[in-house]
Structure 1
Amino acid sequence: MPSTSVSTGHPIPAPVLEILGLPSLDDLADDQTRGATCVWCQVRLTAETAVDLGEHLSPLPGTAPPMHWFPRACRKDTADRAHRGLFTHAPMCEQCTDDPGGCEISRWLYRLVRENRR
């Protein structure tokens, strides 16, 4: 399920979340799965400091129903990962090579850098 950007309120597309590299549910503590702490650095988050990474549904081992989890991240980690993501994505993207402003993924990554580098 998509998440919302801090200032725009628009859903962050799944390909952008993939580039940011959400950790596996198995690697997270309870506070991280419910969005109380950053999924990457475990810093405590508030409504003002968190970037919502959306609701996710992940299978659990055995016959248990899938688990809903709600990761959030700190602004610093979001901006850093988005910045690195731009450098990984752009050289491999035909749209970025032809017209960087025409690539939705690059626009989103740039927006996440700009919004969260405060």
Structure 2
Amino acid sequence: MSHRTGSAAVAADPPSTLEVPPDIVALLALPGLEGLTDDQVRGAHCVWCKAGLTADTAVDFGERQTPLSGTSSAHGMRWYPRACPKCTADRAHRGLFDHAPSCEQCTDVAERCEISRALYRLVREGRR
């Protein structure tokens, strides 16, 4: 089951793999491929803390395609970033602080902002 907030859908509890919409992923500041292990690139380990992940614990950021270094081609390396709930919550919390001051909706009534609500859910899910 998932909750839909406009374009931001976040899976409900307990997640078998919590999926995060692309517009929210952009606010989480995924690391670049440089320095990631093969297990992080394929989604077996958290992209931030390197903790091992299972289908029940992973927060899925979807398939990504990163251009190869030194090329301007749209084709690049495909990777499958996932993270542990705690790291996702920490990044979502930072994302809220980055997003809210520049969001007109957040400055008026934060609970009406779809992005703010989705980030808050990620914080709450990761801190359970």
Q: Same fold by TM (over 0.5)?
A: yes
- Aligned-residue Cα RMSD (Å) equals 2.3
Superposition map of 1:49-88 within 5 A? 49-61=57-69, 65-88=75-98
Unaligned runs of 5+ in 1: none
The TM-score with structure 1 as length reference comes to 0.84
Distance 2:112 2:55 in 1: 32
97-106 or 9-18: bigger deviation: 9-18
- CA shift, 1:104, in A, is 1.3
- Report sequence identity in percent: 60
Unaligned stretches of 5+ residues in structure 2: 1-8
TM-score for both structures, normalised by structure 2: 0.78
Q: Hey, which of these two has a bigger chunk of helix by percent?
A: 1
How many residues are matched? 115
Q: Is the 8 A contact 2:11 2:19 kept in 1?
A: no
1:19-30 superposed matches below 5 A: 19-30=27-38
Q: Which moved more, 1:66-75 or 1:56-65?
A: 56-65
